Structure 1
């Protein structure tokens, strides 16, 4: 499997096959799956070990309060939406949010796209029934199609190869946009000034004006603005489909250590974080920075067991806990976990996912979330860390660069009656472009009250 790896390393990497694997598709043709995986093994890596190491260093800074993490992107990418315009819009939204958060926190913002690989999602029920017909649930474009037909819903391993190809093209665009002038701080600032032109966001005008004055001061002080034309933008996704992630695990020629080359950061979902399961086992053997989603039922013992398995040596920046508690539960559920990790002493980067714990069903049957609940969970996350003297490391949100109507509320007051106007998500509801920026301004106001480690 790895020509340059010794037998002991190969055996360790393959241990996941001996563990129970949850939320895996029922591939109908094992031979076709093996062919697809074998082909994936022959393809070049999507990311490189040195890039993953750099992200680990930046995540370590966030764990110490010297940086703040912004992870954002689609709940589930689709092949149809992996066009240059759609990707550019998502990147633009992340960059705009990052400028606002950087000013609010006065520390660097680590920018991670939930993209270039987020083509699969676990489902609560492996089957769906409509009109008396039962078919496999849609698990993302890397597995099957969304259309409710037997042909579309049958898991197809050739989609894994297309997921790789789409990820490669998305990463190419991410690198081009982040280094080719698109991420120029001056341009991003002008975009945010355009956002402020909408009277609905007048409450943020003072904050935006402060950023504008800061930009003018930098120019007056002789800051070389050409040095602010590029950014580092990393990729991440949930490591759900084990055959795909196994095929993308390669040995770094510099160190002889295994890295998952499908993304810079991989995370394990709330439904697959079983300490004895295949997902935790697989990612325990790679050198990338790793995230784990923690829901409200997580115990301190669960969290400590994950540290023991995924980062036993306590490498700074290696392990991130992404909490998804729900606005009404975070203030009670999070403190015991944070306190247990603090007493343990091994570093963890704490990031809040304020989306998944706040999903509701509207009266018209559509899944949605309320922006007010999302903001409330973020507030609870900050409150817990401030009370315990620990560092709130970042946020993880589902967003799109378009003007969809999937999340309720915000200054533009999306109501249940308006949800159906532009409800485009195939899985979970996302913040639209305007709501994402509004949340960034609200969060930036909170960040001013957070004492980061670099502050005097």
Structure 2
């Protein structure tokens, strides 16, 4: 393997979507401090996830990835982390039963603090300031002081990610993730939601399966806990490079800020700094592919990022939008499959379906989200390839950020509880609805 690039070598490639810090000395001090901190995740955990993603690519498992568009430091509380985890576990139970296969649970959390933006600047009422790039870079408040990029925030990212991972590990090993309890929550959802009657039959079937297991005395460890992994877009070059360690077992570099990291649609240039960095780390990795991606782009990325064609190493996360998914995705999947490339295909039905409502809120229609997932399944079924999973921006709270769904949220409803600082998320009820609808797609084969 070629020598791991220095931070300066990566900067020579002019990485995109990076903040402009006013004090280079403070940046260096922060990077030096990060390099000396303990890992947030371990190489062996990353390898275990890679093996599970290899199963996803073969159609032997399904990936559920979910969490915030952009985490904030203020929301790192036990209640918020528990609520997100609870909904993800509820979704996973439904998908596991419907698909008759393991569901790999991957949180979009414990590191999702930096966001790419379409413009470096934001203007309000004639005042122009640097854009908010996530709590990893600056603050959301629209003041000159808040919007100055602060490298010290990268240390806050580390500390808040550590706190989140500690909470998640405690929950998933301490009985909170017990399968029977999680299914009981789903039954509560069915009983309390008049629009959820269509999902009642599946819930009843799961009940019977669990009663059968109880009757024969089965109580495996898998009932009482789950494997849960963290992921984020590895955007900030200083932070990600500083959080890269050489594993003592293999003498190879791993990004120890998260189990799974991905390259965004705006930073996937084949000759760019992010692709170069990702080509060296050993984590399982992803790349977002949107409407501008071609089959040759996908093949070039696969050759650069996974030259040995290692199963589980590379995941393509598609984000075309409901109107473009069927026509746009098919040529990519067909050519990549024909070339024998080992990759897991995952649907991100959120980012391609964003629009601004008539009352000024950035939002998404639930029906568009579902239609994109259905289009993703349709393409793979028609080609005989594997629809490997879904990535959902969601929260465990009852926010009002996406319109539609069984609650029939309309544009006027958005003002009631719109809390996202960047992109709109599915709320608790919409997330569970999505899980049941995707479960029906899995069942139809």
Give the TM interval when normalised to the shorter protein: over 0.9
**2-structure distance, mates of 1:399, 1:160:** 24
Q: 2:313 aligns with which of 314, 318, 342?
A: 318
**1-structure distance, mates of 2:53, 2:302:** 16
| Aligned equivalent of 1:421 | 416
| Aligned equivalent of 2:132 | 138
| Aligned equivalent of 1:192 | 186
**1-structure distance, mates of 2:9, 2:270:** 13
Deviation at 1:16, TM superposition (A): 2.2
Provide closer, same or farther for how the CA distance between residues 306 and 41 of structure 1 changes in structure 2, counting only shifts above 3 A: same
Verify the 8 A CA contact 2:121 2:130 in the aligned structure 1. Answer: yes
Partner of 2:409: helix, strand, or coil? coil
TM-score computed with the length of structure 2 as normaliser: 0.98
**1-structure distance, mates of 2:264, 2:312:** 19
| Aligned equivalent of 1:3 | none
**2-structure distance, mates of 1:259, 1:224:** 36
Residue-pair matches, total: 444
Does residue 47 (structure 1) correspond to residue 41 (structure 2)? The answer is yes
In structure 1, stretches of 5+ residues that fail to align are 1-5, 451-456
| Aligned equivalent of 2:298 | 303
Deviations 1:357-397 (A, max 9, x none): 00011000100000100000000000100000000100001
| Aligned equivalent of 2:199 | 204
- The 5-angstrom pairing of residues 3-14 of structure 1 reads 9-11=3-5
TM-score computed with the length of structure 1 as normaliser: 0.96
Q: 1:234 aligns with which of 229, 238, 241?
A: 229
Deviations 1:201-256 (A, max 9, x none): 11111111111111111111221155411100000000000000000000000010
**2-structure distance, mates of 1:413, 1:187:** 28
- The 5-angstrom pairing of residues 5-404 of structure 1 reads 9-11=3-5, 15-197=9-191, 198-404=193-399
**2-structure distance, mates of 1:446, 1:148:** 43
Verify the 8 A CA contact 1:15 1:282 in the aligned structure 2. Answer: no
Runs (4 or more) in structure 1 with deviation over 2 Å come to: 8-18
Verify the 8 A CA contact 1:284 1:309 in the aligned structure 2. Answer: yes
Verify the 8 A CA contact 1:20 1:276 in the aligned structure 2. Answer: no
Deviations 1:125-183 (A, max 9, x none): 01011122110000000100000001100000000000100000001111111111000
Q: CA RMSD in A?
A: 1.2
Q: Give the stretch that moved more between structures: 203-212 or 149-158.
A: 203-212
**1-structure distance, mates of 2:6, 2:411:** 50
Deviation at 1:17, TM superposition (A): 2.8
**2-structure distance, mates of 1:397, 1:134:** 32
**1-structure distance, mates of 2:295, 2:195:** 43
**2-structure distance, mates of 1:251, 1:203:** 51
**1-structure distance, mates of 2:235, 2:6:** 19
Provide closer, same or farther for how the CA distance between residues 410 and 185 of structure 1 changes in structure 2, counting only shifts above 3 A: same
**1-structure distance, mates of 2:331, 2:20:** 38
**2-structure distance, mates of 1:226, 1:339:** 40
Partner of 1:407: helix, strand, or coil? coil
In structure 2, stretches of 5+ residues that fail to align are none
Deviation at 1:301, TM superposition (A): 0.7
Partner of 2:359: helix, strand, or coil? coil
Q: Give the stretch that moved more between structures: 373-382 or 203-212.
A: 203-212
